[in-house]
Amino acid sequence: MSAPLTVRESGFGVMLPNFDPLRLGTPPLLAAARLAEDLGFDSGWVGDHLTFHPPVLEPCGALAAVAAVTQRLVLGTGVLLLPMRNPVWTAKQLGTVAALAPDRLIVGVGVGGENPAEFEAAGYPVAQRGRRLDEAIGVVDALLRGEAVDHPGPLLPVRSPKLEPVPSSRPPLVVGGRSAHAVRRAARLAEGWFAVWLEPERVRRAVEDLRAHAQEFHRPVCTTVMLVFVHVTDNAETGRGELERFVAGQYGLPVEAIERWCVIGSEDRVADALARYRDAGAEAFVMMPTAVDVLGQYERLAGVRARLAATV
């Protein structure tokens, strides 16, 4: 029997295209997953929204499809907006992915809240989502362990029998978010912290906090997974133009809102930026291409990965 998956094994991964920020049509999800595995990437991740600025494929359904066309790639949700989801049905969906991709699933969760309309559509209030996330994590975690649940609430009262099939091993959990609350939640409840839109120094301070919280909660230190927005290109002007279109389509924001956390440039430039995050304590990476040609970016990111590995 193989050892249970760890967050660190997500290694050098990529976001798979389940969003369509440039409105080019159905994203090339399965082609991207096959290519990511063929290029030797360690993990492929999908994001979550019920409705947002771009069209979006539901992440658990997307990963079930990806499971059917890959053999080795670790599959991650980066991240599920658990406070607007029914936790029992979510556990069932995740258990299905885990059955189709045994010992290959990492469950990433976060509070969400950028789009209150989707919370309303889902039937959950956007308020108190942090507390609902804490309760939902406990419910989902117990169900994925093969346990029945009788949770009194107060925000998410749940009574559920054991769900089958039970995953061959309990998928590791990562918590996303930039706030001090998110870092503390990760340390208290999860095996990993999913970081985004932070400078290396902020990551360094958060990693120090994770270590302190680990002592406080008598738990192992979380693995830091860093999501980085990248455009690998030899033409910085073209790269910035595509980043501008991506940010507008994905978030409805001007490029200046997140530009300082994005990396545009050659393989060497991107690898140097990632090395600074690694030096700050990041132990795994997820690359979010901001280019029109996502598959072409994967090809160039393979070069980034080789350069980063050479600097260890």
* Residue pLDDT, tens place only, 273-287: 999 999 999 999 999
pLDDT of residue 1: 46
DSSP H stretches of helix in 78-115: 87-100
**Count of helices and strands (H, E) across the chain:** 10, 12
Domain 7-310: give its CATH architecture: Alpha-Beta Barrel (3.20)
For the packed helices 294-310 and 267-280, what is the interaxial angle rounded to 10 degrees? 60
pLDDT for the residue 2:
65
For residue range 151-165, list pLDDT tens digits in order.
999 999 999 999 999
Taking alpha carbons only, the member of 126, 148, 130 closest to residue 139 is: 148
pTM over 0.85: yes
Paired tokens of 210: 């994770």
Would you say how long the chain is, in residues?
312
Residues 191 and 234: their CA atoms lie apart, in Å, by: 37
Collect the ranges in the chain with pLDDT lower than 50: 1
Beta bridge partners of 231: 264
Closest to 83 in 3D by CA, of 54, 139, 125: 125
pLDDT digits (tens, 9 = 90+) for 5-38: 999 999 999 999 999 999 999 999 999 999 999 9
